[in-house]
Amino acid sequence: MNEKIESFSKELHAKLDGMDKRLKDLTVSAKGATEKAKVEAKAQLAALECRAKEQHAKVQSAEARTKAWLEEKKTATREKIAAWKEQRDVKKLASLADSTEQYAVASMQLAAAAVDEAERAAVAAVVARMDADAAQQTSPAKSV
C-alpha cells in the first residue's frame, strides 16, 4: 500500500506542476488576447470539461467508498480496535487495514479530481475574462 500512496503522491505533484505550467502559459497568452490565444484557451477548456465528464463515474465511486469507510469507522471505535489488538484478532485488524487503505486511495482520487476541477475553473475564468475584454474593446461599454 505504501507504494500506492507514494506513486499517487508523485502523480499528484506532477498533475499540480502541469496545471501550474498550463495556467501560467494560458495567462501569458491571454494577456496578448489574440484570436489564437482565445481559440487555444477555449480548446483547453473543452478538453478539461470532456475529461471531467469522463471521470464523473470514477469520482462518484470514490465518494461512495469514502462514505462507506466513514460509516465503518463509526463502528470501529478506539476501544474495539484496542480490544482487537489485545486479542490479536488478525482478521478484524486486517479488514480494518484493507478498508482504510481503500479509503486512502478513494481520498486520493477525490484530491486528483479536485485539482482537475480547479484547473477547469481557472481556465473558464480566463476564457470569460478574455471574452469580456474583447467585448469591451469592440463595443461601447454597457453596465447593468
Q: List the chain pLDDT tens, one digit each, 144 residues.
A: 678 788 888 888 888 898 888 888 877 777 776 777 788 888 888 988 888 888 888 899 999 999 988 888 888 888 888 999 999 999 999 998 888 888 888 888 898 889 888 888 988 988 888 888 888 877 665 655
Question: Has residue 73 been placed in a domain?
Answer: yes
d(CA 46, CA 40): 10
Query: Residue 139 carries which DSSP code?
Result: S
Which residues constitute the domain of residue 109? 2-138
Q: How many domains does the chain have?
A: 1
CA–CA distance from 11 to each of 25, 53, 87, 137 (Å)?
21, 20, 39, 41
Question: Has residue 143 been placed in a domain?
Answer: no
Question: Has residue 74 been placed in a domain?
Answer: yes
Question: Has residue 53 been placed in a domain?
Answer: yes
Question: Has residue 102 been placed in a domain?
Answer: yes
Give the predicted TM-score (pTM) of the model.
Answer: 0.71
Supply the pLDDT for residue 1: 63
